[in-house]
């Protein structure tokens, strides 16, 4: 490759990001990304690490000491939660009603776990009573895992009943909050969640690349008492906790620029206030869902359990999935997401997350759809 055939200047089109993440990003976060890098052991950076942990605790609504961003995307956070507390032969119970529940079952089995599935139809919540019954039967389970906001279907799983059922038991409660964190109520401590991971590119409106995680003392106790080594060196929280904790022992070189971005985005989230932010997501989501109703498009997720930040909508007969999404992108600059797994070609997933969660954006999409399909 010579200088002559190098790719040209970076010049992406402007997009309104209404897919299942990434979401639109505040200019202050871009400014943070462009801030000159300092070293990962610089005393000023160490201060920022503490600031990030503190703000993450506020957003997760937890006092958990180990509350940190993992240096990978949301899926690395999923893997982190499993590899650190699951040992070969452990029984784990997993609620599966979408792609991300399936993914958790896959990750758990790669840790050598015996996976017990609680399956439910996609687009419906898993009945908490049914979960508690199963967990009573499998009282030897190392953990129960479920997705709070299933990005593949658009439903919100209730967590409190299961959390309080598990609080006095040995089984850990693991929750995927990739799509919910920063967009709707999530009370890690009050709800008895022991391991929780998220992503940055959804309701926090940071580019993809980091995965905030938080672990309760109960989870850390299991980590400390395991008999085998954590199978992933990169995700081993024993070592990572020594870098984020007081010792500051080097583990890997932290992704400085992305952490700048996360720090700025968390400031923006907390300046707005969690309640106000959740309300903004609720209003925007409701407005969009009403709008789809007026267009005559059916919603996919169970009524009363619909996510505000991700609307799953059934494609009307005759509407071509790929071609129409391409047209939205090319002619209107709007990205929406297609279906994933068994809903591919049948639904769209429309995000109103973080900075994107505004009525105006819903209007932009609905107007475009009226022109194209109306």
Site for a second copy, residues 291 to 350, rule: CB under 8 A: 326, 329, 335, 340
H or E element that contains 228: none
**Measured from the CB of residue 110, what is the shortest distance to a second copy in angstroms?**
5
Query: Quick one: which of 162, 198, 156, 223 has its CA closest to 60?
Result: 198
In whole angstroms, what is the distance from residue 150 CA to residue 97 CA? 8
Binding part of the chain for a second copy, among 156-164, 189-197, 268-276, 295-303 by CB under 8 A, reads 268-276
Of the pair 142, 349, the CB lying nearest a second copy is at 349
- Edge-to-edge strand ranges of the sheet holding 310-314: 16-18, 334-338, 347-351, 310-314
| Residue in 66, 68, 86, 107 binding a second copy, rule: CB under 8 A | 107
Q: Residues in contact with a second copy, total (CB under 8 A)?
A: 85
In whole angstroms, what is the distance from residue 212 CA to residue 186 CA? 14
| Residue in 114, 117, 208, 223 binding a second copy, rule: CB under 8 A | 208
| Residue in 63, 110, 121, 190 binding a second copy, rule: CB under 8 A | 110
Structure token digits, residue 194: 């022991």
| Residue in 230, 241, 328, 369 binding a second copy, rule: CB under 8 A | 230
Binding part of the chain for a second copy, among 102-110, 158-166, 286-294, 297-305 by CB under 8 A, reads 102-110
> With the CA atoms of 62, 68, 74 and 78 taken in that order, what torsion angle do they form, in degrees rounded to the nearest 10?
-70
Q: Are 176 and 155 in contact (CB under 8 A)?
A: no
Q: Is 364 in the site for a second copy (CB under 8 A)?
A: no
Q: What backbone torsions phi and psi does residue 162 show, to the nearest 5 degrees?
A: -65, -40
Q: Which of residues 148-207 bind a second copy (CB under 8 A)?
A: 199, 201, 207
Of the pair 144, 260, the CB lying nearest a second copy is at 260
Of the pair 125, 198, the CB lying nearest a second copy is at 198
Q: How far is CA 239 from CA 1, 24, 299, 365, in A?
A: 41, 34, 45, 46
Binding part of the chain for a second copy, among 5-13, 157-165, 292-300, 358-366 by CB under 8 A, reads 5-13
Binding part of the chain for a second copy, among 3-11, 163-171, 189-197, 357-365 by CB under 8 A, reads 3-11
Q: Which of residues 232-261 bind a second copy (CB under 8 A)?
A: 232-235, 250-258, 260-261
In whole angstroms, what is the distance from residue 232 CA to residue 237 CA? 10
| Residue in 58, 129, 190, 290 binding a second copy, rule: CB under 8 A | 58
| Residue in 53, 67, 71, 171 binding a second copy, rule: CB under 8 A | 71
**Measured from the CB of residue 14, what is the shortest distance to a second copy in angstroms?**
6
**Measured from the CB of residue 341, what is the shortest distance to a second copy in angstroms?**
10
Residue 213 makes CB contacts below 8 A (sequence gap 6+) with: 66, 67, 68, 69, 70, 77, 80, 81, 195, 196, 197, 198
**Measured from the CB of residue 314, what is the shortest distance to a second copy in angstroms?**
20
Alpha helices (H) in 111-255, listed in sequence order: 128-137, 160-166, 217-224, 237-244
**Measured from the CB of residue 155, what is the shortest distance to a second copy in angstroms?**
20
Task: Report the 3 state secondary structure along 304-358.
Answer: CCECCCEEEEECCCCCCHHHHHHHHHHHHCEEEEECCHHHCCCEEEEECCHHHCC
Of the pair 5, 225, the CB lying nearest a second copy is at 5
């Amino acid at each position: 490759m010579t200088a002559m055939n190098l790719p040209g200047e970076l010049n992406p089109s402007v997009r309104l990001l209404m897919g299942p993440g990434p979401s639109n990003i505040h200019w202050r976060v871009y400014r943070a990304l462009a801030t000159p890098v300092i070293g990962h052991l610089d005393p000023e950076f160490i201060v920022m690490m503490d600031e990030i942990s503190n703000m993450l605790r506020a957003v997760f609504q937890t006092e958990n000491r180990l509350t940190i961003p993992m240096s990978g995307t949301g899926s690395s956070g999923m893997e982190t939660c499993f590899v650190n507390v699951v040992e070969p032969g452990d029984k784990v119970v997993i609620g599966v009603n979408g792609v991300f529940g399936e993914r958790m079952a896959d990750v758990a089995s790669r840790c050598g776990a015996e996976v017990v599935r609680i399956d439910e139809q996609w687009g419906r919540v898993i009945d908490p009573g049914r979960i508690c019954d199963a967990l009573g039967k499998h009282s030897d389970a190392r953990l129960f895992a479920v997705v709070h906001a299933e990005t593949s279907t658009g439903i919100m799983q209730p967590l409190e009943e299961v959390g309080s059922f598990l609080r006095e038991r040995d089984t850990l409660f693991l929750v995927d909050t990739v799509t919910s964190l920063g967009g709707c109520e999530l009370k890690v401590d009050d709800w008895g969640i022991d391991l929780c991971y998220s992503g940055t590119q959804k309701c926090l409106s940071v580019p993809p690349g980091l995965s905030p995680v938080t672990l309760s003392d109960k989870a850390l106790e299991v980590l400390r008492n395991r008999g085998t080594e954590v199978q992933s060196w990169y995700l081993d929280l024993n070592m990572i906790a020594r870098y984020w904790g007081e010792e500051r022992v080097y583990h890997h070189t932290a992704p400085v620029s992305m952490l700048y971005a996360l720090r700025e985005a968390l400031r923006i989230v907390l300046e707005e206030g969690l309640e106000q932010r959740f309300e903004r997501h609720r209003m925007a989501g409701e407005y969009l869902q009403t709008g789809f109703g007026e267009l005559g498009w059916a919603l996919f997720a169970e009524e009363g359990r619909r996510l505000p930040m991700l609307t799953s909508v059934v494609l009307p007969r005759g509407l071509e999935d790929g071609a129409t999404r391409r047209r939205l992108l090319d002619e209107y600059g709007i990205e929406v997401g297609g279906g994933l797994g068994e809903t591919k070609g049948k639904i769209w997933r429309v995000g109103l997350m973080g900075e994107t969660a505004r009525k105006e954006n819903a209007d932009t999409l609905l107007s475009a759809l009226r022109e194209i399909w109306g």
